[in-house]
Each structure stands twice: as structure tokens, then as C-alpha cells.
């Protein structure tokens, strides 16, 4: 397991997608709010720049599609682990088209593609938490049992456990991996309950870091050569209390990325990219 | 000879036209192409033997298309046939050790032998039980990994790792251990490196060679190409290193070492239960939906086709909860339970829990893991001090798809064993613990002494000896007995009048053998310090009890042997120490309750056991039974020895046991008890009757030969390691005296080389420990050899 853990967080490529103008008005959201499109564009550009320059990733940028207002949230369209990519069947009908461009992009990256063709299955990548040792799949409004089964079939090496998501959009709306064996989790009741479920289901022991704000628990962890542990997190302005908690990660390079506008349409940090490790050294 | 049977039905395909002659002199196997003659092993010492071979072994001679692991087995042995002799009653352990010996395997605790039961389910051969008792029809075993070491790098020997690799290759190839495309290619490449060595650039293996090998259930050209490609990258890796790499990758797979069992949850939804080193996993389709780590589980039990786990309450919960699953049938439930017991013991305990001693009355499975635990085997293997054994790795062609169209051959090591001749030689020891007691309708506190010692011939097996033979042999039996009595027994024997009568009685049905027959009987007396004053019995009692045997019979008929059992996995677990004492306190309380309950029953009732059986077997152990949750996994119906100073010392059964409850209805034969029993075939019932005759004569005019009225009779048989314990309870009304007689017979069977003196001493010791109130009064040693049987035939 040491081998797996050591490799956790190593990435070479990232797939992102542009923001369509339709996002401001047509993108799905759980609360009514006005999105400042210009600001959103700026945030996204910043985000991509961090991935490209500070984290040294080769970024594949897909063009935005006006017909797909949510297409910037690429995470939901595919799940990539090792050399295998599962093209999902998003829970929201309006988002099903997003997988097309994603499929092409991942094909070009020479990944083994698995497509979710079952019409009874739905799965959003945002409900999939990969810990390095196993998968947790949130059963939410967007993801169902059948979708989780297909994921389990696609990644046979790993245990796939299901976690009920009672509140929030996705499983990763309140949690993410903060490092090898470290789960960042929101303080809300349903987040803590989900964590308990995950801990019970796992043969492994995970450390947890609870942050006061659920949304702040969604961070991007990377292990960057020369930099070590890197954590992309929401800004301290947005969630000051949570930032204080994250500051305790002393041996980490913390990079704040603003996601204020995207968050208005339920977009968290992990939502906007698919990270791929192409140097699977087998 | 009725015992001479041959299992031809279990022949492998290649041996369809093999001829078997169950002769004691020679035996030949004549498959169509290969004529194999198997010599008899040893002349007269043993006449039954097993031989091992595989289909691949046979086909190996004509073409090399199926180099199997048996090749490895063959290269280990100089003889093409792994052939050895064994006793008819050889235990599973014997066979297993023979195989390990043949494989030169020292770290054997991770492995085991499996067989397919009549329903084609894979079962582990219990090392502590006789093989023939476990195998119903098919004498076919396979050598498999039983406990997958979580970290194979901690194994000491490469040989062990290699064997583990073989199992895993099999598991992977047949899909039992699911893995991704990438993992398939990686594992396949390590397999090639280990078996073929470096990739030869000059002579690359053609792809069609690759397609003959099975690496994955859905193998394709793409995968084969990738495997070859990866194989190139392993240049310079030794076979042992390649195996180690293989294991490093295989152990990470989520289904590594998970033993799956199909079940239904409480709502009837199909699920799969997986037993592994960490605990019990619950899957629905391929998804893990729940997990119970061993430290969370307080008790594992099964009852009929239900499997239960009792869960330690969580931080926020107050009460323990019990989760039930429905298995296909009670065999599956028992199998799952056993696997759980074994996995828990192996991975979580420092030392195996000692098997429950044969108690006075026990029921339910006494099964416990009997091997070494992982902790113990690690210590043992760290002490292995031998040069690394030589062994040959064979080609993966063994899992060739070309064979019979199947994608793999299962099992790995196929062992076909045929028992050819059943002329056996064994020592047969029987211990009869015999006690009788009277439960007087009396006030407490008055002390009398009643010693009832009975001699029972109950334990005699099938007999077809003539009276003459019986008489003829009487002398030698008496001689044996006398010689035993002369030796200082653990407890002074009390030979008495009726005992002498017995030995000279023409009705004695001891089997006549021209050769010494050793049979050990041990009689114990129970001294009852009980009131002798109130010898009154309610008249209605016998009538009331009359039809009880029938009632019980109906219960016993539906109960099957070991239909339920429980296991407390946390008893010795070092983890979660803090929570255990709490548990114990609770248990002690419960136990006290039981005792009080029992004591109260005695004065009110002349009849023991006091409680009527529940109509449908026992109540749920964990919920209803008063002794649920006892520290040691006792089972219902276990006797409680009530030891109160001023109270009668009795042994009673709190609940009628369920295991193999066999009713012996004596009512009919009872009337005939005074007639001489001189039949050639002496059924058990008759023997019992005769016993009562002695009893009458012993009662010093108390009963005046009055037969008394038999109220109930019950026989309980339970089996453990190498003993068969039969407990017989009869209740009779005689004059003003109600008597409950509990007699216990322990038959110890062993190999010929068993030291019967030692076995006897051990049995007496145990018996004394269990029943300190009884003393051994009589021991009969009975030795059997099988030659006798042959001559007679």
C-alpha cells in the first residue's frame, strides 16, 4: 500500500473546459443567485493558470459549448483513475451532452475508455471520491446504485463503497482528499455522518480534518515534484474559519483559488478539472 | 464385507475406463492409454491406501500439453506416483500433512485441502476429523490457500510465496479475484517472467503461444500484446522477485483474500457476504454496502439457514444489535459460520481458542479453528532454518484454455484418493461414564447415600457374533479388565456384585475377536447426598410423562446435527480491551440467573430435566436463551452442575439438547427385560434393557425386582475431535423412587499407534474434572483388529 500512497496525488495532465455565456442564466443551481460572467471567466482563467504554471500540468482546454451551460464542470463527465477513464452518464439530463467532448479528449490521451451506456444508470463524477485505496460513491440526486455498480465494474482493482448523500449536491460538495490517507470533511451533520459511513466501510484508516464550512472542504490535493504536498483551496476571504484550519497543514504549500462565482452554480474547486496521471509506471 | 466399497464414481474423466479391484492383494488402474499399476503399499500392516494422481499427470505422458503443478509435485517426488498408505480412519490432517510434506512446504498454515460436497460446494477438509466422515461420495481434494496473508512479503520462504502465486493466478484467471485490464497485464507479465525468465528478443514467443495461456477470464489479443510488452521490461528479474512483485500487486486488489458467500438480507435482497482478515463485508452486486470489522462483532452464530452477527454498540448507541442474514440452507450457514470462526481466529487471535471440551451435555457445533494462528505461524516460520528448498516453476500452460474448453482448471492440485480396501486396523477405545442418580421427592438436608453403578453395553456396535464366540472371548476381556484394575486408577474402582455378574454373564455382547480387542469402559458413580426420607412419588407422574418421548422425537427428527452454533469472536481479542470486562460482567450475571433457575427447579419436580423442549428447536440463542452471551461459547442444553453445599448434587440439563437427539423408546422392550437376552443381533435397546435388569438386582430389595416404570429416555450424541460422546438419560419410577440415570459414553477412536493407556488416563482425568462427584469404578479395554473380520468373512 505504501507504493500506492506514495503515488497518490501525482498528476501530469488536466482537462478543463471553458465557461459558456449560458452559464450565467441557464446553468443548474440549487439557490437563486446572479452570476457575474466576467468575474467567473476571470476566476476560471486564474484556476487554469495555477494548474498550468504553479502545478506544472499539461492542460487540455476544451472549448465551451453554449448548448451545455454546465460544461465547465468537467469533473462530472468522467472519472479517471490510472489508465482507465469512465465516461459517466450525468444525472441531470441537460448535462448528458457534456460527455461527448470529454470522451474525445480522453481518447486522445490514450486512456482505456469505459462508457456508461446503461440507461438506468446515472453517475456524476462529483459523487466519486477516490482515496488512493478505494472509491466512495455518493448516492445522491445525481448518482444512483446502478451508476456506482458500473463504476465498480470499470475499476475492478478497487473496493467501491456507497455512501448516502442526504444533503448537498454531491458527495464532494462537503469533502475531498487532503493528502494520502487524509480526508477533508465539512463540519455539518450530514458531512460528518457520511464520513462515519466511509470510515466504517473501509479496511483502511483515514485521518480527517474537519473544516467549519462544508464548501471549503472541497480542495484539490496534489503531490508536485519539487514542491511536495500542494493544496488548492478556497480563499481565506470566502471562508476565514476554514482557512485557519487548513493553515495547520504546515508542510503543505497552500494555494488559494477564488471560486466565488462558480460556487453560485454549485461548482467547487474539484469540479472544474479532471486530473490525469499519464506516467503510470507499471 | 460390507465396508469394502470403492469410489469409482468420482473418477476423473481420463480414468473413466479404469478398473478397480478392491482386493487386498493388488490393484491396477487401467486407463485407456496409460497403464498404471499401483503396488500395494506394505503387506499386512495396513490395507487401505490412498493414491494421488491428476488427469494432467496422465496426459503428461503422451503429450506435454498440460504441464500442471502436479509436475511440480512430481519433480519433488522421485516417484511418479505420490502414493502412501493410511488408515481407514485417517484424519484430514494426515492427508494435508502428506501433501505438504510432498510439496516440501513448511509454512503450511495458510493452506488447506478442499473438497466438493454433495451439493458441489467447496468445503474445507477439517483436519481434526476423519476424512471419510467428511467426504460423502467424491474423493477428490484440492490444495488451496485458506488464509491469504495480508502481506506476502512477510512469508519466510519463496516456496510459500510461489504456492500463493499459483493460487492467485488461478483466482485471477477464473475471475474469482477481479482485476482491471492494467492489473491483468501486469500480473500476467510477472507470471511470464517467473516461469519463462527474461523475454528472449531473438526467439520471441509467438502470440498464439500466448493465447494458450490463460491470464484473465476475458483475455484478448490486446491484453496478450501488452503482457508481452511488459514482460520485456522485467529483464533480469529472478523468478522469486517476479513472484514477489506479482504478490505485491495482487494483495492490493480489493477482493484479495475475501471469501464470498451468497445470502439474502432481512428484506430478502440478494447480497454477498465476504469474510476476510479484517472482518465481514457486505456486498450488493459489486458494491460494498456494509462492513463489520472483527472488533465490532461480539458474536457470530447460525441457526438453521440463518446467520447472525451481534454488533457491539457504537459510540452513540446504547444497545447491541443483531444482524441476520439468510443463507440458502443450513449447510451454507454453517459453512459461512465456520469460515468466520477460522478467519477470526487465524487473523485476530494470538493462539487458537481451545476447542470446547466435551462437556457433559453439549449441543451445537463445537467447531473451533484448530490450526496455528497467523501470529503463531509467523513465529514458527521465523524459526525455519533450512536452505531454501529447490522447486521448479512450471509453465502457465497448466491453466490452458485448450483443456476441455474451460478457461481454467480448478482446482490447482487435484488429488484423487481412492480408498480401495477397508481392512483396517485401529484401536477402539470406549469409555463409559456411567452414573445414575435418584431424584427423591424429599426434603433437603437429610443425608443418605445412594450409589448406583450400572454397567452398560450400550456402546457396542453392530454385532453379529454368536453366543459361543461371545463366551469364548469373555476370558480375554476379563483379563484385560483385571489387568487394568490392578494398575492404580485415578479413582478407586468399586467392583461389586453385579459387575462380576456382568463379566460372566452369557448375555454379554462383547464382540468376539480372535485378536485382542481393546475397548475401554469407564464407570463412574455419583454419590448423591440426598434425602432418603420422603420416598414418595406422585402416582400421576408416569402417566403424565408417558408420551413425552414421542413429543421429543418429533422435535429431534427435524433438528439436524449441529444445526446451530455460536462463536464469540472478541473473547480473546487483544483489541478493545476496555470493552471486554463490561461484557464479562454481564455474562456472569446471566449465568447466575441460570443457576438459580435450576436449583429452584429441583425440589419442585422429581423429573429432570425440568424444562420441556420448545416446539421448534431452541429459541434464538442471543436473545432468549438465559445463557446467551456467556464468555465461553457454550450452547444451549449444556448441563449446569449445581454445587450448593446443602443441596443435592445433581447434574441436570437446563434445556433438552438438540444435537442429534435420538430417541430410544424403551417402553416396549421394557416388559421383556427379565427375559434372557441371547440374540445374535443385539440392538442398543436390548442392551439398555439388560442394564435395567442389573439395576433391579442392585437395589437391595428396595425395588424387589420390580421393573419400575420407565418415564423417559433420551440419547444424545455429539462428536468432537476424535471422540464420540453419547449421553443417555433415562428416567424410571421404581417403587417410591424416581430415578434419573444419566450415563455418558465416550468412544475414543484413534490410530493404531495411539497409546491407549495414555488416552485412557486422559479420559479419566477429564471425566473427573467434569464430574468431581463421580468416581471411576470400572474400565474395560477393548481392542479390535481387522484381520479378525477378514477371517470371519
CA-CA-CA-CA torsion sign (B82, B87, B89, B94): negative
Helix, strand or coil, per DSSP, at residue A252:
coil
Which residues are CB-contacts of A94 (< 8 A; sequence separation ≥ 6)?
A28, A68, A69, A70
A170 is a catalytic site residue: yes
Mean pLDDT on B313-332: 88
Full 3-state SS string of B512-527: CCCCCCCCCCEEEEEC
Q: Is A83 annotated as a binding residue?
A: no
Contacts of B272 in chain A (CB under 8 A): none
Helix, strand or coil, per DSSP, at residue B299:
strand
Distances in whole angstroms, Cα of residue B136 to Cα of each of A34, A208, B8, B564, B657: 76, 53, 13, 21, 26
CB B713 within 8 A of CB B729: yes
Kindly state the helix (H) or strand (E) to which residue B690 belongs, with its residue range. Answer: helix B684-698
- Compute how many other C-beta atoms are within 10 angstroms of the C-beta atom of residue B267: 7
Pairing of the two strands B36-38 and A220-224: unpaired
**A152 at the B interface (CB within 8 A)?**
yes
Mean pLDDT on A6-25: 89
Contacts of B287 in chain A (CB under 8 A): 137, 145, 148-149, 152, 160-162
Alpha helices in B113-206 (DSSP H): 131-134, 158-173, 181-196
**A3 at the B interface (CB within 8 A)?**
yes
Cβ–Cβ below 8 Å for A134 and B254: yes
Instruction: Kindly report the pTM of this predicted structure.
Output: 0.60
Cβ–Cβ below 8 Å for A159 and B183: no
pLDDT band at B390 (very low <50, low <70, confident <90, very high): confident
**A8 at the B interface (CB within 8 A)?**
no
The DSSP symbol for B672 reads G
Residue-level pLDDT at A141: 93
Which of A71, A81, A219, A271 is labelled catalytic? A271
Minimal CA–CA distance to B782: which of B512, B396, B403, B468? B512
CA-CA-CA-CA torsion sign (A22, A25, A30, A34): positive
Q: Is B28 exposed, middle or buried (CB count within 10 Å of its CB: 0-12, 13-18, 19+)?
A: middle
Contacts of B290 in chain A (CB under 8 A): 200-201
Residue-level pLDDT at B516: 29
Q: Tell me the helices (H) and strands (E) count for chain A, helix number first.
A: 8, 15
Cβ–Cβ below 8 Å for B186 and A282: yes
pLDDT band at B761 (very low <50, low <70, confident <90, very high): low
Pairing of the two strands A253-256 and B287-293: unpaired
Nearest CA in chain A to B276: A203
A271 is a catalytic site residue: yes
- Residue burial A248-276, b: 16+ Cβ < 10 Å; e: rest: ebeebebbbbbbebbbbbbbbbbbbbbbb
- Compute how many other C-beta atoms are within 10 angstroms of the C-beta atom of residue B62: 9
Cβ–Cβ below 8 Å for B291 and A200: yes
Give the model confidence (pLDDT) of B545-578 as tens digits.
Answer: 333 334 333 333 333 445 677 777 754 433 333 3
**A199 at the B interface (CB within 8 A)?**
no
Q: Return phi, psi of residue B436, to 5°.
A: -135, 155
Distances in whole angstroms, Cα of residue A9 to Cα of each of A34, A47, A186: 34, 18, 21
Give the model confidence (pLDDT) of A185-227 as tens digits.
Answer: 999 999 999 999 999 999 899 999 999 999 999 999 999 988 8
Of A157, A203, A282, Cβ closest to residue B253? A157
CB B656 within 8 A of CB B615: no
ipTM value for the complex: 0.89
Cβ–Cβ below 8 Å for A203 and B291: yes
Give the model confidence (pLDDT) of B215-237 as tens digits.
Answer: 888 888 889 889 999 999 999 99
Cα(B762)–Cα(B766) distance, integer angstroms: 6
Residue-level pLDDT at B749: 52
Amino acid at each position: 500500500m505504501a507504493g500506492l500512497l506514495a503515488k497518490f496525488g501525482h498528476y501530469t495532465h488536466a482537462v478543463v473546459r471553458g465557461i459558456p455565456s449560458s452559464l450565467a442564466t441557464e446553468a443548474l443551481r440549487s439557490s437563486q443567485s446572479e452570476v457575474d460572467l466576467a468575474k467567473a471567466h476571470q476566476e476560471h482563467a486564474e484556476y487554469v493558470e495555477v494548474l498550468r504554471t504553479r502545478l506544472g500540468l499539461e492542460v487540455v482546454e476544451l472549448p465551451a459549448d453554449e448548448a451545455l451551460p454546465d460544461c465547465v464542470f468537467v469533473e462530472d463527465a468522467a472519472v479517471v483513475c490510472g489508465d482507465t477513464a469512465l465516461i459517466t452518464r450525468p444525472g441531470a439530463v441537460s448535462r448528458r451532452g457534456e460527455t461527448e467532448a470529454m470522451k474525445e479528449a480522453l481518447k486522445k490521451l490514450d486512456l482505456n475508455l469505459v462508457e456508461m451506456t446503461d440507461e438506468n444508470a446515472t453517475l456524476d463524477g462529483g459523487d466519486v471520491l477516490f482515496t488512493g485505496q478505494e472509491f466512495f460513491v455518493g448516492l445522491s440526486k445525481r448518482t444512483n446504485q446502478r451508476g456506482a455498480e458500473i463504476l465498480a465494474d470499470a475499476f475492478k482493482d478497487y473496493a467501491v463503497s456507497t455512501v448516502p448523500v442526504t444533503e448537498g449536491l454531491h458527495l464532494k460538495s462537503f469533502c475531498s482528499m487532503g493528502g494520502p490517507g487524509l480526508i477533508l470533511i465539512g463540519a455539518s451533520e450530514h458531512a460528518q455522518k457520511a464520513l462515519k459511513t466511509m470510515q466504517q466501510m473501509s479496511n483502511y484508516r483515514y485521518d480527517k480534518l474537519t473544516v467549519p464550512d462544508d464548501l471549503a472542504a472541497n480542495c484539490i490535493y496534489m503531490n508536485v515534484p519539487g514542491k511536495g504536498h500542494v493544496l488548492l483551496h478556497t480563499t481565506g476571504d470566502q471562508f476565514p474559519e476554514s482557512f485557519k484550519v487548513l493553515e495547520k497543514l504546515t508542510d503543505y504549500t497552500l494555494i488559494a483559488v477564488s471560486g466565488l462565482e462558480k460556487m453560485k452554480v454549485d461548482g467547487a474547486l474539484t469540479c472544474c478539472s479532471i486530473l490525469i496521471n499519464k506516467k503510470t509506471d507499471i | 464385507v460390507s465396508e469394502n466399497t470403492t469410489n469409482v464414481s468420482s473418477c476423473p474423466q481420463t480414468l473413466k475406463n479404469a478398473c478397480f479391484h478392491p482386493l487386498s492383494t493388488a490393484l491396477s488402474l487401467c486407463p485407456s492409454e496409460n497403464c498404471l499399476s499401483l503396488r500395494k503399499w506394505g503387506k499386512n500392516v495396513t490395507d487401505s491406501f490412498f493414491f494421488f494422481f491428476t488427469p494432467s499427470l496422465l496426459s503428461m505422458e503422451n503429450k506435454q500439453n498440460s504441464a500442471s503443478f502436479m509436475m511440480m509435485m512430481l519433480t519433488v517426488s522421485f516417484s511418479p506416483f505420490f502414493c502412501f498408505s493410511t488408515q481407514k480412519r485417517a484424519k484430514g490432517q494426515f492427508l494435508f500433512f502428506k501433501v505438504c510434506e510432498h510439496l516440501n512446504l513448511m509454512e503450511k498454515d495458510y493452506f488447506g485441502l478442499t473438497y466438493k460436497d454433495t451439493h458441489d460446494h467447496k468445503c474445507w477438509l477439517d483436519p481434526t476429523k476423519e476424512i471419510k466422515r467428511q467426504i460423502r461420495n467424491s474423493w477428490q481434494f484440492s490444495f488451496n490457500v485458506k488464509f491469504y496473508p495480508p502481506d506476502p512479503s512477510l512469508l519466510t520462504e519463496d516456496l510459500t510465496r510461489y504456492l500463493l502465486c499459483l493460487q492467485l493466478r488461478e483466482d485471477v484467471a477464473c475471475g474469482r479475484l477481479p482485476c482491471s485490464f492494467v492489473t491483468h497485464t501486469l500480473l500476467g507479465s510477472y507470471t511470464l517472467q517467473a516461469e519463462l525468465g527474461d523475454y528472449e528478443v531473438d526467439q520471441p514467443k509467438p502470440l498464439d503461444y500466448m493465447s494458450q495461456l490463460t491470464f484473465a477470464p476475458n483475455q484478448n489479443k490486446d491484453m496478450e500484446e501488452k503482457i508481452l510488452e511488459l514482460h520485456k521490461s522485467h529483464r533480469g528479474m529472478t523468478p522469486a522477485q517476479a513472484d514477489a512483485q506479482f504478490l505485491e500487486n495482487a494483495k492490493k486488489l480489493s477482493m484479495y483474500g475475501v471469501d464470498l458467500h451468497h445470502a439474502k438480507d432481512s428484506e430478502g435482497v440478494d447480497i454477498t457476504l465476504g469474510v476476510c482478515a479484517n472482518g465481514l463485508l457486505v456486498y450488493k452486486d459489486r458494491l460494498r454496502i456494509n462492513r463489520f470489522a472483527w472488533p465490532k462483532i461480539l458474536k457470530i452464530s447460525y441457526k438453521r439457514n440463518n446467520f447472525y452477527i451481534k454488533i457491539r454498540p457504537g459510540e452513540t448507541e446504547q444497545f447491541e444489535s443483531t444482524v441476520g442474514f439468510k443463507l440458502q440452507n443450513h449447510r451454507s450457514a454453517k459453512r459461512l459460520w465456520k469460515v468466520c470462526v477460522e478467519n477470526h481466529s487465524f487473523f485476530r487471535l494470538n493462539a487458537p481458542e481451545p476447542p470446547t471440551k466435551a462437556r457433559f451435555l453439549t449441543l451445537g457445533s463445537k467447531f473451533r479453528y484448530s490450526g496455528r494462528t497467523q501470529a503463531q505461524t509467523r513465529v514458527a516460520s521465523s524459526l525455519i532454518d533450512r536452505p531454501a528448498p529447490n522447486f521448479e516453476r512450471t509453465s502457465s500452460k497448466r491453466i490452458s484454455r485448450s483443456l476441455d474448453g474451460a478457461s481454467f482448471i480448478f482446482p490447482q492440485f487435484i488429488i484423487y484418493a481412492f480408498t480401495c480396501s477397508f481392512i483396517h486396523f485401529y484401536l477402539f477405545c470406549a469409555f463409559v461414564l456411567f452414573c445414575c442418580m435418584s431424584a427423591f421427592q424429599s426434603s433437603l438436608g437429610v443425608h443418605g447415600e445412594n450409589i448406583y453403578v450400572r454397567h452398560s453395553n450400550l456402546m457396542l456396535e453392530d454385532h453379529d457374533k454368536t453366543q459361543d464366540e461371545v463366551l469364548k472371548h469373555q476370558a480375554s476381556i476379563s483379563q484385560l479388565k483385571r489387568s487394568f484394575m490392578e494398575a492404580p486408577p485415578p479413582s478407586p474402582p468399586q467392583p461389586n456384585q453385579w459387575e462380576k455378574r456382568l463379566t460372566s454373564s452369557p448375555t454379554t455382547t462383547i464382540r468376539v475377536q480372535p485378536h485382542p480387542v481393546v475397548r475401554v469402559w469407564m464407570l463412574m458413580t455419583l454419590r448423591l447426598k440426598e434425602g432418603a426420607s420422603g420416598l414418595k412419588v406422585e402416582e400421576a407422574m408416569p402417566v403424565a410423562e408417558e408420551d413425552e418421548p414421542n413429543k421429543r422425537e418429533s422435535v429431534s427428527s427435524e433438528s439436524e446435527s449441529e444445526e446451530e452454533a455460536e462463536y464469540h469472536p472478541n473473547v480473546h481479542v487483544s483489541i478493545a480491551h476496555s470493552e471486554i470486562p463490561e461484557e464479562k460482567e454481564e455474562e456472569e450475571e446471566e449465568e447466575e440467573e441460570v443457576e438459580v433457575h435450576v436449583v429452584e427447579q429441583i425440589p419442585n419436580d422429581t423429573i429432570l430435566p425440568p424444562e420441556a423442549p420448545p416446539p421448534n428447536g431452541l429459541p434464538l440463542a442471543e436473545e432468549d436463551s438465559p445463557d446467551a452471551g456467556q464468555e465461553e461459547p457454550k450452547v444451549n442444553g449444556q448441563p449446569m452442575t449445581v454445587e450448593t453445599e446443602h443441596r443435592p448434587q445433581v447434574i441436570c440439563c437446563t434445556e433438552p439438547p438438540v444435537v442429534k437427539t435420538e430417541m430410544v423408546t424403551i417402553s416396549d422392550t421394557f416388559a421383556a427385560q427379565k427375559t434372557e437376552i441371547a440374540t445374535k443381533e443385539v440392538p442398543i435397546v436390548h442392551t439398555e434393557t439388560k442394564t435395567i435388569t442389573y439395576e433391579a438386582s442392585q437395589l437391595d430389595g428396595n425395588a424387589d425386582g420390580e421393573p419400575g416404570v420407565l418415564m423417559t429416555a433420551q440419547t444424545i450424541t455429539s462428536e468432537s475431535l476424535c471422540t464420540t460422546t453419547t449421553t443417555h438419560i433415562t428416567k424410571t419410577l421404581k417403587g417410591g423412587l424416581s430415578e434419573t440415570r444419566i450415563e455418558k459414553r465416550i468412544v475414543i477412536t484413534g490410530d493404531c499407534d495411539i497409546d491407549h493407556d495414555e488416552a485412557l488416563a486422559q479420559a479419566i482425568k477429564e471425566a473427573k474434572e467434569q464430574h468431581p462427584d463421580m468416581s471411576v469404578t470400572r474400565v474395560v479395554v477393548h481392542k479390535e483388529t481387522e484381520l479378525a473380520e477378514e477371517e470371519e468373512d
